[in-house]
Amino acid sequence: MNLLLKHPLMLALAGIVLIVTKIAQAIKGNEENLNKVTLAFAPLRAAGTAISNIFDKLGTLVADVIAKFGSVSIWIEKVAKKFAEFARSLGLDDFANSIENAFSKAKATVAVEKELTKAEQDLAKRKREILVENKKLELEGSEARAKIAEKDKYTAQQRLAFLNTYTANYKKQLENNLEIAKEELRIAEGRAA
């Protein structure tokens, strides 16, 4: 209790936990209370739905703008070229060159970023596939390993075949994990560059 009195934040947290606990007990104990709480939170549910709809429409709008005007990087490239042409028409060749050089560097950076983002998406998909594959291999390996121990049920030749299955499955899991690690390293090195 002394700890709670010395630290007002702890006292506030304890109070919040107590309030939430009491509300949960009141809701669980009575259907009428549950209906009241559900009704009280109905406006929040409606607000959440409205916000979700807004983000859906915003996403559609962004997709439509990109479809209409093309890629943002293409649009920026056109603007940069026009700006450089304008600078040259004013006799500012060095300034125009610096604009073109800056855009070339930015374009290369964007290309690398797009490639790395695509690689991360592909890696996430591959990780899910490998997770499933590794679990299947692990199950098969466990079954083979259990059969290896059953000397009275299987011959030495059969148990050797089970051992080969077990080691092949384990090796394949390691190769899968190595594949993922190499791709993660490649992406990390690309991000660090």
- 185 is a domain residue: no
Q: Which two tokens mark 81?
A: 């070229």
Using pLDDT thresholds of 50, 70 and 90, give the confidence band for residue 67. Answer: low
pLDDT of residue 94: 84
pLDDT of residue 70: 56
Long-range contacts of 128-133 (CB under 8 A, 24+ apart): 130/176, 130/177, 130/179, 130/180, 133/172, 133/176
Domains of the chain: total: 1
- 188 is a domain residue: no
Predicted confidence (pLDDT) at residue 157 exceeds the cutoff of 80: yes
Q: Give tens-digit pLDDT for 96-154.
A: 788 788 777 777 777 788 888 889 989 999 999 999 999 999 999 999 999 999 999 99
Tell me which residue of 146, 117, 143, 134 sits closest to 170, measured CA to CA: 134
- 130 is a domain residue: no
- 78 is a domain residue: no
- 165 is a domain residue: no
Q: Which two tokens mark 27?
A: 């809701």
Domain that residue 50 falls in = 10-69
What is the residue type of 113? Answer: E
Contact status, residue 162 vs residue 148, Cβ threshold 8 Å: yes
* Mean per-residue pLDDT, 148-161: 92
- 186 is a domain residue: no
| Residue predicted with more confidence, 183 or 100 | 183
* Mean per-residue pLDDT, 156-169: 94
- 103 is a domain residue: no
Predicted confidence (pLDDT) at residue 4 exceeds the cutoff of 60: no
Using pLDDT thresholds of 50, 70 and 90, give the confidence band for residue 95. Answer: confident
- 155 is a domain residue: no
Q: Give tens-digit pLDDT for 13-63.
A: 777 777 777 777 766 767 777 777 777 777 777 777 777 777 777 777 777
